[in-house]
């Protein structure tokens, strides 16, 4: 099969496949590159029950030896203890530098597996087979890997690109509606920062998106990954423009952490995007109708618009530990109209407090 497109960076070329039943072709795509002595599939226990047998069978049919490692579902698995457990099992399996990992799951699994691959034996190959919409449209591509720490979300990580990304839209049929909505937050984000016509497309196709129409979802996933690839190709290591992909994430990460990760990542990002949109409005970059348009679309996809019960001051304090701090100042990704972004550290503390207070419902 021919990939939908290929991400080209200085360090790696990453083919991206978006195909129904892609899981059944993983063995072929691995073996076409090379024959590793062992392929270790990392998944969470819920996803493994649904799809691991199909993936392991694909590897076996291509003559590849494989093993399965599972972690508990949920963001709590993005931690040092689970990473150490994976390392223990890789050691037991005698996985050397010529081994390979395959991540089968959502963003937690792709981030965790990617970081394990980046650090085991100082770096081994891996591939991503995402199974959630959040991972399909964002986390699976771009080479960011990592785990959470008490200091904040994704505070420990590395850049390490997958050998390929294989998105199977049929997996969305087993995904709860809440998780579909969470993934749509990242899709809205890409439209807001990079493609106004894509936001129009979301509005025009909202009902088909909500019903998870296979043709529409394949287009949604492909367009998202192409937007992300375009950004990453310009700035692989987030030295400048790639920071735009963090629109909504500075406040969103704080909201997510303060919810003790009970809130989905995309849900927290939706709230963060509204706060960032309000900051954009207060700085004269975005008008009121644009904010209302964003709010309406977020609500249409059953995403939250408020972080009820959270303290605005706690959120603001957590943003001070954000990874995008430069010279002691937060770097804010703001909207300079629909489909355009700007990055600045010049935001008055009063505007930040006002915007956070609004999304906390206070």
Give the residue numbers marked as catalytic: 122, 144, 186, 228, 238, 242, 246, 249, 253, 265
Measure the CA–CA gap between 266 and 303, rounded to whole angstroms. Answer: 8
Measure the CA–CA gap between 148 and 219, rounded to whole angstroms. Answer: 31
Q: Half-sphere exposure of residue 34, counting CA atoms within 13 Å on the CB side? A: 11
Measure the CA–CA gap between 286 and 290, rounded to whole angstroms. Answer: 7
What DSSP line would sit under 139-172, residue for residue? ITSSSEEEEEETTEEEEEEEE---S-EEE-GGGG
Cβ(95)–Cβ(227) under 8 Å? no
Measure the CA–CA gap between 342 and 3, rounded to whole angstroms. Answer: 32
SS3 state of residue 104: strand
End-to-end CA distance of the chain: 53
Structure tokens at 246: 């963090």
């Amino acid at each position: 099969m021919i990939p939908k497109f290929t991400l080209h960076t200085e360090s790696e070329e990453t083919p991206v496949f978006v195909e129904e039943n892609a899981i059944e072709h993983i063995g072929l795509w691995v073996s076409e590159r090379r024959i590793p002595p062992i392929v270790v599939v990392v998944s969470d226990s819920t996803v493994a029950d649904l799809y691991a047998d199909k993936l392991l069978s694909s590897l076996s049919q291509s003559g590849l030896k494989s093993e399965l490692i599972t972690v508990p579902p949920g963001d709590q698995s993005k931690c040092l203890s689970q990473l150490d457990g994976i390392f223990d099992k890789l050691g037991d399996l005698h996985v050397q530098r010529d081994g390979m990992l395959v991540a089968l799951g959502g963003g937690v699994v792709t981030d965790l597996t990617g970081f394990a691959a980046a650090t085991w034996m100082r770096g081994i190959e891996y591939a991503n087979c995402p199974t959630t919409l959040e991972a399909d449209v964002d986390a699976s591509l771009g080479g960011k890997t990592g785990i959470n720490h008490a200091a904040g979300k994704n505070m420990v990580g590395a850049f390490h690109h997958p050998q390929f990304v294989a998105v199977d839209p049929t997996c969305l049929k087993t995904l709860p509606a809440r998780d579909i909505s969470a993934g749509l937050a990242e899709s809205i984000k890409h439209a807001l920062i990079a493609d106004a016509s894509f936001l129009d497309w979301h509005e025009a196709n909202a009902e088909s998106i909500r019903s998870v129409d296979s043709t529409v979802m394949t287009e949604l996933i492909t367009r998202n990954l192409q937007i992300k690839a375009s950004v990453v190709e310009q700035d692989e290591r987030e030295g400048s423009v790639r920071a735009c992909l963090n629109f909504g994430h500075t406040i969103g990460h704080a909201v997510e952490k303060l919810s003790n990760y009970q809130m989905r990542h995309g849900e927290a990002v939706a709230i963060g995007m509204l706060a960032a949109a309000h900051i954009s409005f207060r700085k004269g970059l975005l008008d009121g109708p644009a904010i209302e348009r964003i709010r309406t679309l977020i609500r249409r996809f059953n995403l939250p618009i408020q972080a009820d019960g959270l303290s605005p001051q706690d959120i603001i304090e957590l943003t001070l530990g954000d990874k995008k701090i430069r010279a002691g100042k937060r770097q804010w990704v703001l909207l300079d109209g629909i489909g355009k972004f700007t990055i600045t550290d010049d935001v008055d503390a009063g505007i930040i407090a006002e915007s956070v207070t609004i999304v906390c419902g206070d």
